[in-house]
Chain A
């Protein structure tokens, strides 16, 4: 067996993807079902001369990675439901202060303590709107370990490119499931390194003045330029301001830098969509069952296909609209009460075609579940 072929948990695939991406600093707090990410990195990071710290809670974990990002490092934390709730305030800080960082949320059943050891996709809208105030956010997901690895690397690339927090929204099934992972060769996935300013020492550097392409070159704490970082609305120097025009411009910048580049950060897989009249849309572990159902129904002659989303936020409106143009029936397969179904309804021309195919008992939705619900939706009886 080749050395780069592994049989691992999804959480390990995530940790390995982070190492591949150049993770320098991890801070975290134990929580099921994401703990294996911390356990893997507690071995790997010190052995690579990099930094691992277990903090006193999820709040401080998120704060610590922001501090470490400012000294010039690629940083990550990982958690699950309750911990993700605790991170929301500092996640908003990273949005406002434009700090590159990656936050993994391996979803479990909620609300509250919920069902720690079982699967759910109930944090989809929390990822979008969990922190207070208007903002935009990037959230990626995956249904298999190859994609977990790949999306983890892309999360770091997006964080560095757009100076933004990026959420990896995995789920318990993918996190704990073991399957094959082929670790890509070094260099086969391009890595984005931090864009640093070329402004020389002694010359004015504006940490919050976007270049023409919208990117903001950074300067490390401890480096040549001293500047202020704050969660308050601020001007191009990083100084607090409540001037209405500056406030509005900053908010617009924070949203536009993500939404205007949505097409560049949209990742997806499509299966049998060419002639599909029934289109399933799914993501995460639910997409595995959806693909299985699609392949079985294909064998019976149904014109059915699957659009698997890897980018959830910003919602890939264009992609969803184009992929469902010829569909008579759209089924959104997810393990929540329809959190992404709402976004799909907004994206497509005829929202009445959009149906939720779900399961919310913290058990994996199966291909059989999906086929049963489809029969009802297609008017073929129960």
Chain B
């Protein structure tokens, strides 16, 4: 396949640091869209603010680069007003779950057919490495110089509890799996959320002595296991990868269409 077919070369060079994992997400996403053979004009990418949000500009889809935390709210307007469009919302961990946490749970609750990506590098990269709601206890950051005392969200549990009907987690090390999850998430009829563990060697890595980008990728390999793995019983610290939720429930735009049928008496 020709990856460049999906890129806006005018936008390059991209602004991500050397070793950043976000480019791997972009690659997997483009390949997923290509395999699904979705036309570019049927794709809308809606993002907020942060390193992750710049993905929307790099792809040759309809792209809406919005406000910090509000991407899912803008996306709800796009999708509900034109349900035929495929709407993908790439977000960072701070973007999705700190300032955007309210929109995240409500989009999930509505089960509107949007694909949300939470690119979790456990830090605010764009502003220089502050702690996020996914950093976790004991993490060092520019705003946590002595260590973070904030507990982290479990994104998968949060999305599940809020009502998302497709919930998955993978990492930028597991590229093929990631690509497969993204395909399934886009195909899913309802709110889908894929959490992607991705590395920020520049800030999170440096502050927390995680080594190079390669070392951090290795940690995704060593620190994660497939759902149900026996290793998890021996070592509860391991993070599970896989599809946690995949179920059919009434989708919001379709429910609205039925409401209109009632209201118009058709």
- Chain A residues in the interface with B (C-beta under 8 A): 24-25, 27, 46-49, 51, 53, 55-57, 59-60, 63-73, 75, 89-90, 93, 220-224, 226-232, 237, 239-240
Contacts and interface: CB of A to CB of B under 8 A. Distances in A.
Given A56-B103, A60-B106, A25 B60 contact: no
A66 B264 contact: no
B102 A221 contact: no
Interface stretch (B40-48, B129-137, B187-195): B40-48
Given A64-B77, A222-B42, 14 more contacts: A24-B81, A27-B77, A51-B80, A55-B73, A65-B77, A68-B80, A68-B81, A71-B78, A222-B44, A222-B62, A228-B57, A228-B64, A237-B10, A239-B11
B61 interface: yes
B70 A63 contact: yes
B159 to A, nearest CB: 16
Contact of B76 (A53, A222, A224, A227): A53
A47 B77 contact: no
B41 A222 contact: yes
A144 B157 CA distance: 52
A66 B77 contact: yes
B66 A63 contact: yes
Interface residues of B, number: 40
Nearest to B78: A67
B57 A230 contact: yes
A48 B65 CA distance: 31
Interface stretch (B142-150, B202-210, B255-263): B255-263
Contacts of B37: none
A67 B67 CA distance: 12
A324 B41 CA distance: 55
Contacts of B64: 67, 70, 221, 228-229
Contact of B62 (A27, A47, A73, A226): A226
Contacts of B127: none
B74 interface: yes
Contacts, number: 128
Nearest to A223: B41
Contacts of A48: 264
Contacts of A24: 81
B70 A73 contact: no
B88 interface: no
Contacts of A71: 78, 81-82, 85
Question: Interface residues of B: mostly helix, strand, loop or mixed?
Answer: helix
A64 B85 contact: no
B70 A90 contact: yes
A226 B61 contact: yes
Q: Is the interface of A mostly helix, strand, loop or mixed?
A: mixed
B200 interface: no
Contacts of A237: 10
A67 B65 contact: no
B235 interface: no
Contact of A49 (B76, B102, B260): B260
25 contacts: A25-B77, A25-B81, A46-B263, A46-B264, A47-B264, A49-B264, A55-B73, A55-B76, A60-B73, A60-B76, A60-B103, A63-B66, A63-B74, A66-B77, A71-B78, A93-B66, A220-B82, A221-B62, A222-B42, A222-B62, A228-B56, A228-B57, A228-B64, A228-B65, A230-B65
Nearest to B84: A222
A55 B256 CA distance: 14
Nearest to B253: A51
B177 interface: no
A89 B66 CA distance: 11
B80 A226 contact: no
B224 interface: no
A239 B256 contact: no
B67 to A, nearest CB: 6
B65 A68 contact: no
B63 interface: yes
Contacts of B156: none
Contacts of B79: 67
Nearest to A90: B67
Contact of B65 (A59, A221, A223, A229): A229
B185 interface: no
